Amino acid sequence: MLSKREFFLYMSTLYEEDFKDEDSYRVFKQIVKMTDQDQLLEMKEITMFTKRQKVAYRNSLAANGKELTPRQLDQYISMIEIALEQRH
């Protein structure tokens, strides 16, 4: 599993900004350690969203009180992708 420093460096390089989101690293570790196959499938499906599906997902999150910008959602998806890769 990537260390926090490695994770932040990866995300900082990918998004060309100083990425230091502690919550993202916490979720990253949870996904790497996840054992529920249904949850893992859901995570994988999120990484394959089309632009339209991303908008619908953002609207769904917002309706439940969690608003993300398009960039934040892209970062979340990238975090999921690297977490799933770390599982292998």
What's the pTM value of the predicted model, to 2 decimals?
Answer: 0.92
Contact between 84 and 43 under an 8 Å Cβ cutoff? The reply is yes
Contact between 83 and 32 under an 8 Å Cβ cutoff? The reply is yes
Digit-coded pLDDT (tens) for 41-55: 999 999 999 999 999
Digit-coded pLDDT (tens) for 58-74: 999 999 999 999 999 99
Torsion angle in degrees (nearest 10) through CA of 63, 31, 69, 13: 180
Tell me which amino acid residue 44 is. Answer: K
